[in-house]
Structure 1
Amino acid sequence: EAYLSGPISSDQAGGFLLSVVDFINSCSGDQIRLAPDKFIQVCKRLKDQVMQLQVPLQGVAPLRTAIRKLQTSSEQLTTIHSDFLLLCILAKSYKTGLSILEDDILEVDQPRDLFSITIMAYGAKENLKFWLRCKWNNATHVVTAPMTTLNAIAVEAYKKYILVSLILNGQVPSFPKYTSSTAQRNLKNHTQPYIDLSACYASGKYSDLEAFIQSNVEKFQSDNNLGLVKQVLSSLYKRNIQRLTQTYLTLSLQDIANAVQLKTPKEAEMHVLRMIQDGEIFATINQKDGMVSFHEDPEQYKTCEMAEHIDSTIQRLMALSKKLRSIDEQISCDPAYVSKVNWEGTAKI
């Protein structure tokens, strides 16, 4: 209590960290959930202290433990998530952060936490390239979160939604039907340079995209998105090579370099090899004549590993469906929801 109520001197800092870490490791999850506000306050003070001492790594493991103890299930997003991810970023402990991001979030302590965790995980830091590379699919769900008024967080999230979609899919999909009308009406008006970027990307011309980025570099830099924008530019090589696989069975490395605007056949070989390793294309390179042969996906879906993967995916979808039915039933019985539905029905009459 004394540590929380006043400033901590440099002499007290070491003892404070040891005390808090020991408390987090030894406390009972059932007990701290009876007084979550106090526990969260302790965790946030720990985060502030390790940042002040410039030792963020010392706070990563304790906050990860704190999250697991505060959660009633791994599907719950807590107020501590954003603090934990901030320390992961500062400590460059990306894999530890990824272990938390891999959880499907179906419960949120506070609505604002959803935006906080999203921006922290997929936000403006170029250091998050590792996470984005692993979790691009999740990043594209950001802007579909419910909102009643447009806010700065949603605008920044949509900018990243555009960039992440281009890197992942080569195009920006339309808003899903369940996206709030507020987002659909207003987000595009506040992100015009990014809309123009996606249009330029769709042309498939590397030189045009590079010129567009150069002419808007100050805007992207001020948004802290220049690192992602550069990844968008780099991904165009990959997207254009994938287009070639849909047209040709064989091509020389020189032809590939010419088609996608690479300087040398060696650069083309490097890109093709990386895409083969990542499973993005199926091809072989003949080193003697520099020819690349493109193949169909060799996966026959007959192996035990694939059967287990399909089964686990089905089980996960069944569990999700059950959870959604439960949430739907809860909402249907919520007095505020029932009142709103009745009011709208009366207004139409």
Structure 2
Amino acid sequence: MAPSTEIASMDNIFHHITTSNNVMALNVTIKNNLPKDARDLILSGSLSSGQDPLNVLDARENSLGMLYILAARLQTLSTPPTWDFIDHFCEVFNPEQVRHAPERVVMLFAGILRLASHYQNMRLSLRSLRALAMRYPPSPAHLTTIHARFLLICAQTQSFTHALPLLLNHHITDIATSLTPEVTYIDNLIYHYLGGICLAALGRWAESEDYFEVCITAPGVASALQVEALKKMKLVQLIRQGSTSPLPKYTNNAILRAFKNSPYHAFVEAYPSNVDKMRSIIEKDRALFQTEKNTGLLSRAWARAPRWSLKKLTRTYVTLSLGEIGRQVGIKSEEEVRDLVLSMIEEGDVYATLSDKTVTFSDPPQSFTKEQVDRVLLRAQQECRELGILDLDTGKSKDFLSKAIKSQDPSWSSSMSMGGEEEVFGMTVGHGGSSWAEEIGFS
């Protein structure tokens, strides 16, 4: 369709934006009826009255039109909007409207980054990018290219807390290829790798481990990024629990081999009791650890090694002297050992009493409140529902069905003849509960 000269002015565009009651038609009008080489120049202009159209339009009601104008305005940076305006738009726009123009959202995203770089302060972009990542897709659990770039800026500027609402509450379950067609497999790896870094920086060790594991176990050709994630995850596990856990069997063997040939594997093998070996590894490969930016995690693991060595002693001994504990954990000073024991007792890491120079260990009390049980059960039920929905979606996909038919798996045929979708996947979805909740007696 040839561009129309009828709307080739900001006044006419403004008229269409404010009078159209069909968002899809409005998108076609702006996209196709403006000269391509002059479109953004026209959209960056003012009204004939001298007013800025962005100050007249409503961000909620006129989201699509404002998206076109705002994205164009951020291309030139000659008269950029204020950050408060950009943040406000990203936090209140109508998602259903802006999804009609995914290329303009990508353009807005790039413009926000450009403006922050222009001011030499990438932190300025974080509020808008987080709002885009959480509001533009059908849900924040749909991965877009915005997600990975947002986390990258959080990590680069050490603004880790900005990422928490996204990382803790919205685990990725889908990829929004229709909204950001350029999103790739690598974006998924980067997002989960950076998520692990941000969470580790905040001491959220369990959540950090989960994000690193998603990156490591993602199917596909083994990536160097996955090897780096494995190195960090193993250090996080040492910090969190004093030992490492095996990865799922479907983890790519090439990743495991690469890790096994690294000094990180040797450090894990020596941890926490072989103090001399650990010290030797740290000193010998210090440059490598610094280059790979793992010095902080390594130092944290090293500092916690005596605590984990002491915790292991509680499984074998009932009483020990401070001197005996010091020899076992690699601390020469009895005062330092005393401080360590008292610190671990205070933090609940061990249950013991200290009398003069003798430590007597006891078993930890087993107590769970009803609130704790209810909270864990609710989380399990939520995850069960989410997994059920994912199973149903997977079972309906063309790729899955074609592979299932080609494999000629007898169990597939028998499952399909059982009746409803709930029976095929072994659970009831979408009714707020699961039968196993009652069976285990916590409901």
TM-score range, shorter chain: 0.7 to 0.9
Q: Is the 8 A contact 1:68 1:74 kept in 2?
A: yes
CA deviation after TM superposition for structure 1 residue 71, in Å: 4.3
Q: 1:64 to 1:212 in 2, by over 3 A?
A: same
User: 1:20-169 counterparts in 2 under 5 A?
Assistant: 20-109=86-175, 110=183, 111-123=185-197, 128-133=200-205, 135-169=207-241
Counterpart CA distance in 2 for 1:267 and 1:8 is: 62
Q: C-alpha displacement at 1:246, in angstroms?
A: 1.4
Unaligned runs of 5+ in 2: 1-39, 45-69, 176-182, 410-443
Change (3 A) 1:40 1:86: same
Deviation by residue 1:208-262 (Cα, 9 ceiling, x = unmatched): 1111121122222222222222222223212101112212233343432222112
Q: Does 1:247 align with 2:319?
A: no
Shift of 1:199: 1.7
Shift of 1:198: 1.7
Question: What residue identity is the alignment partner of 2:235?
Answer: L
- 1:309 equivalent to 2:381? Answer no
After TM superposition, give the deviation of residue 32 of structure 1 in Å. 2.7
1:184-219 Cα offsets, whole Å, 9 max, x none, are x211232211222222226x2112111112112222
Cα RMSD for the two superposed structures: 3.0
CA contact (8 A) 1:251 1:292 kept: yes
The aligned residue for residue 186 of structure 1 is 254
Give the whole-Å Cα distance in 1 for the aligned partners of 2:339 and 2:110. Answer: 45
Identity of aligned residues (%): 22
Q: Which residue of 2 aligns with 1:171?
A: 243
On the 8 A contact 1:121/1:131 being kept in 2, the answer is: no
Equivalence for 1:198: 268
Structure with greater Cα Rg:
2
Report deviation, 1:52.
4.5
- Which residue is equivalent to 1:292? 359
Letter in 2 for 1:230: S
Judged with a 3 Å threshold, the aligned counterparts in structure 2 of structure 1 residues 159 and 214 are, in CA distance, closer, same or farther, namely: same
Question: What is the CA distance between 1:313 and its match in structure 2?
Answer: 1.6
Shift of the 96–131 alpha-carbon distance from structure 1 to 2, 3 Å rule, reads: farther
Distance 2:276 2:229 in 1: 27
Answer yes or no: is the 8 Å Cα contact 1:36–1:70 preserved in 2.
no
Q: Do the aligned residues in 2 keep the contact of 1:251 with 1:291 (CA within 8 Å)?
A: yes
In the alignment, does 2:331 pair up with 1:262? yes
Aligned 8 A contact 2:323 2:334 in 1: yes
Task: Report the alpha carbon displacement of residue 309 of structure 1 after superposing the two structures with TM.
Answer: 2.0
Q: CA deviation at 1:322?
A: 2.4
For 1:59 and 1:167, the matched residues in 2 are separated by 33
- The answer to whether the Cα contact below 8 Å between 1:140 and 1:165 also exists between their aligned partners in 2 is no
Offset from partner CA, 1:11-45 (integer Å, 9 cap, x none): 745x3534422321331233233434422432343
The one-letter code of the counterpart of 2:403 is K
Alpha-carbon distance in structure 1 between the residues aligned to 2:403 and 2:298 = 43
Q: Is the Cα contact below 8 Å between 1:20 and 1:42 reproduced in 2?
A: no
TM superposition score normalised by structure 1: 0.81
Q: Could you say which structure has the greater relative contact order, defined with CA pairs below 8 angstroms and 6 or more residues apart?
A: 1
Q: When the two structures are superposed, what TM-score results if normalisation uses the length of structure 2?
A: 0.66
Where 2:320 maps in the other structure, the secondary structure is: strand
Candidates 217, 221, 232, aligned match of 2:301: 232
Contact 2:216 2:229 in 1 (8 A): no
Secondary structure at the aligned position of 1:172 is classed as coil
Distance 2:159 2:307 in 1: 28
Indicate the larger mover: 75-84 or 205-214: 75-84
